């Protein structure tokens, strides 16, 4: 069982650290049929969740990240880990991870383009990822949250 938990954590962290593992091509999102929902495995549902999150963030749609990231947290604490996830829970979990990865990929080390700092272009974002990011999102007070607010929560503005 120990190994399972370690495995689950590894899967989780590999998603957070490896930028190139982001499902950049979420083409399957528009092709998914209802029939395929009985066939997908947990990993595919998680990827679907990641894609849903990315699509939402791109389209300025709001996400319920408390629910999603609580799922990541529960999964971490659950003895059976990934095995006990339902299909819906896998999607939710993927959404949380997709959001964190998307924000990290887009903003980390990027220069802050804010009028306030026009005179100083040495200010960049430093974004949280992994467990810390999950914990931040779990503790949001509002039910649904948009891209700018998520970035504000996950990323600090620091001198380069």
Partner 1 sequence: MENVEVQSFLDLARVCLKTEDLPDSIRIPLNTIFAKKSGANLYRPKIVCEKTKGIPQNKHPILKGRRNSVRNILCIWYLLNGDTKKTKEFLQSYAKSGMTEKYEQELLELANQQYLEFFCLGVVRENVYEIIETLNSSEFDLFRDKLPSPFFANQNDPSDISPILTAYSHVIPWEDYMGRYEEAERFFGDKQYEKAKEVLRKLEEDAVIRLPVVEALNKKIKAIEAEAEEAWDYFQKMLN
Tokens of 86: 């339902």
Any contact of residue 52 with partner 1 (CB under 8 A)? yes
> Is 48 an interacting residue with respect to partner 1 (CB under 8 A)?
yes
Q: What is the dihedral of CA 26, 103, 16, 99, to 10 degrees?
A: -60
For position 150 contacting partner 1 by CB under 8 A, the verdict is: no
Burial 48-81 (b: 16+ CB within 10 A, else e): bbbbbbbebbeeeeebebbebbbbbbebeeeeeb
Residue 38 near partner 1 by CB under 8 A: yes
83 is a site residue for partner 1 (CB under 8 A):
no
Q: Which of 1, 3, 27, 39 binds partner 1 (CB under 8 A)?
A: 39
Binding positions for partner 1, rule: CB under 8 A: 29, 32, 34, 37-39, 45, 48, 52, 55-56, 86-88, 90-92
């Amino acid at each position: 069982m120990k190994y399972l938990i370690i495995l689950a954590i590894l899967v989780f962290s590999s998603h957070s650290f490896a930028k190139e593992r982001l499902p950049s091509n979420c083409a399957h999102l528009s092709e998914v049929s209802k029939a395929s929902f009985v066939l997908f495995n947990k990993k595919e549902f998680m990827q679907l969740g990641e894609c849903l999150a990315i699509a939402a963030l791109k389209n300025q749609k709001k996400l319920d990240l408390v629910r999603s990231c609580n799922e990541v947290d529960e999964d971490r604490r659950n003895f059976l880990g990934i095995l006990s996830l339902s299909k819906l829970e896998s999607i939710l979990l993927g959404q949380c991870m997709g959001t964190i990865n998307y924000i990290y990929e887009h903003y980390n080390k990027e220069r802050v383009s804010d009028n306030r700092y026009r005179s100083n272009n040495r200010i960049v974002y430093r974004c949280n990822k992994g467990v810390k990011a999950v914990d931040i999102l779990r503790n949001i007070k509002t039910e649904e949250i948009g891209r700018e607010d998520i970035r504000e929560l996950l990323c600090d503005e620091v001198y380069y």
